[in-house]
């Protein structure tokens, strides 16, 4: 698939100022997305990470990256200008707390937020969900996990990579009671999904139906949600 040709942002474009300041990719302006229903804005302070994620996402016929910024200010401008269905962002940004940004994005748009980050403490997972994130995916996990979550969240579902080892390592603490509250089958299903297996593969490996896999994942997410509310 050919990459979008470099395009300069028009002077009246709401994201033009951020692009000129080097915060956003000026080759993206929300165009050519009619044939790709899932419009995405990327926000990450690492241009290399943005480029890799963009390249992989745009190999999918139904996904289009319409904006890419490495600061919160530019990201908000891109959200307002391009009206994406999804925003994929990292918490570690130079100009604003990531949790506040999640709240700001959901307050001014219908975009759903997927948190895509290297590591999170237990408390940060809780804060991300409280702030309005619909999905949590770790960068070391297979990209198939991110792509799957993009489609699930776009369809109105919630998705969380229950990578308990990463959470425990980042927090320096035992796995939370909310994760321990999962049933053995829920943990087993979550571990397969966190490793990058699709629902169909998990169903085959565990000799259960694909619908049962989705039900276990739903229950696991709900238990984590309940612990957040408490």
Residues 17 and 72 in one domain: yes
Residue 14, token pair as written in the block = 């709401």
Are the C-beta atoms of residues 227 and 177 closer than 8 Å to each other? yes
The DSSP 8-state label assigned to residue 8 in this structure reads P
b/e code 127-137 from CB counts within 10 Å (16+ = b): bbbebebbbbb
pLDDT of residue 170: 44
Query: Average pLDDT in the 158-168 region?
Result: 55
Residues 78 and 57 in one domain: yes
pLDDT of residue 53: 94
Residues 88 and 192 in one domain: no
Residues 56 and 158 in one domain: yes
pLDDT tens-digit series, residues 186-200:
878 877 876 777 778
pLDDT tens-digit series, residues 62-96:
999 999 999 999 999 999 999 999 999 998 899 99
CATH of the domain at 120: 3.40.50.2300
CATH of the domain at 228: 1.10.10.10
Does residue 125 or residue 153 have the better pLDDT? 153
Residues 143 and 216 in one domain: no
Residues 200 and 218 in one domain: yes
> Cβ–Cβ contacts within 10 Å for residue 45, how many?
18
Residues 95 and 70 in one domain: yes
pLDDT mean across residues, the chain: 76
Residues 163 and 184 in one domain: no
pLDDT of residue 223: 67
Which residues constitute the domain of residue 153? 1-172
Q: The whole model's pTM is what?
A: 0.68
Does residue 80 or residue 8 have the better pLDDT? 80
β-pair type (86-89, 38-43): parallel
Residues 193 and 82 in one domain: no
Which of these three, 172, 194, 209, is where a domain ends?
172
Per the structure, the count of domains in the chain is 2
Residue with tokens 């009246």: 12
Query: Average pLDDT in the 205-219 region?
Result: 78
Residues 168 and 126 in one domain: yes
pLDDT of residue 197: 76
Residues 118 and 32 in one domain: yes
């Amino acid at each position: 698939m050919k990459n979008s040709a470099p395009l300069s942002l028009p002077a009246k474009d709401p994201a033009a100022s951020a692009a000129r300041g080097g915060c956003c990719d000026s080759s993206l302006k929300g165009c050519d997305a009619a044939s790709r229903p899932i419009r995405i804005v990327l926000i990450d302070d690492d241009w290399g990470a943005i480029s890799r994620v963009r390249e992989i996402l745009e190999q999918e016929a139904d996904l289009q990256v319409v904006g890419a910024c490495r600061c919160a200010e530019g990201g908000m401008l891109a959200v307002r200008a391009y009206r994406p269905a999804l925003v994929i962002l990292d918490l570690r940004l130079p100009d604003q707390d990531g949790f506040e940004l999640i709240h700001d994005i959901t307050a001014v748009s219908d975009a759903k937020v997927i948190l895509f980050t290297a590591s999170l403490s237990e408390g940060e997972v809780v804060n991300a969900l409280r702030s309005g994130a619909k999905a949590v995916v770790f960068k070391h996990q297979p990209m198939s996990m991110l792509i799957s979550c993009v489609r699930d969240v776009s369809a109105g579902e919630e998705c969380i990579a229950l990578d308990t080892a990463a959470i425990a390592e980042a927090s320096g603490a035992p796995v939370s009671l909310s994760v321990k509250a999962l049933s053995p089958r829920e943990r087993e299903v979550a571990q397969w999904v966190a490793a990058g297996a699709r629902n169909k593969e998990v169903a085959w490996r565990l000799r259960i139906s694909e619908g049962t896999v989705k039900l276990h994942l739903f229950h696991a997410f709900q238990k984590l949600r309940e612990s957040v509310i408490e």
